[in-house]
Amino acid sequence: MTMNTDTYLRISGMATDDAIRFRNLAPDANGQKPAEMISDGKSNPCRHCLGLIAKGDAMLLLAYRPFDELQPYAETGPIFLHRDTCERYESDVMPAWFDHFDPAIIRGYSEAHYIRYDTGKAVAGKDLTRSCQNILEDASVAYVHIRSKFNCFQCRVDRA
Ligand SMILES: [Zn+2]
């Protein structure tokens, strides 16, 4: 199935309720307290505002599962989060620094949150928008996840 219109995107950071829970040091996806650290300024992206955490700024390191329910494809992995309040990223364009996100891993998921194996690939950061649009032009794909080359979850992309 292919949609004939241009596919507009909605790029979203972690839900603010989740960010607040972790900042209150609620258990992460592994049942552990988020680790409190100081950013070294080297590629520590916050999964709430999708900005890079500046050197010297307080941050949390925790295990995050970007799925509401447990199921075979509900992977858990490490993420960073600003220790202090920040604004959730919600936009129809990618954060500017994603242009230097080399490479990023992208893949689509079904409504049942299963990986769509026909959609997965590694792409240059500057190609993320077009690549996400291509995946989401298939109406049977529910949404896309962007991950780092280390397979760390970065953000979710939906159709706008
Ligand atoms: Zn942030």
pLDDT in tens, 62-102: 999 999 999 999 999 999 999 999 999 999 999 999 999 88
Q: Where are the domains of the chain?
A: 91-159
> 94 C-alpha vs ligand 1 centroid, how far in Å?
15
pTM: 0.93
Place of tokens 């032009």: 137
> 14 C-alpha vs ligand 1 centroid, how far in Å?
10
- Mean pLDDT value across residues 102-130: 96
> 96 C-alpha vs ligand 1 centroid, how far in Å?
15
> 83 C-alpha vs ligand 1 centroid, how far in Å?
8
- Mean pLDDT value across residues 11-39: 98
4 vs 141, which has greater pLDDT? 141
- The three-state DSSP-derived secondary structure of 98-136 is HHHCCCEEEEEECCCCCEEEEEEEEECHHHHHHHHHHHH
Query: Tell me, what's the pLDDT at 1?
Result: 47
> 151 C-alpha vs ligand 1 centroid, how far in Å?
20
> 87 C-alpha vs ligand 1 centroid, how far in Å?
7
> 154 C-alpha vs ligand 1 centroid, how far in Å?
12
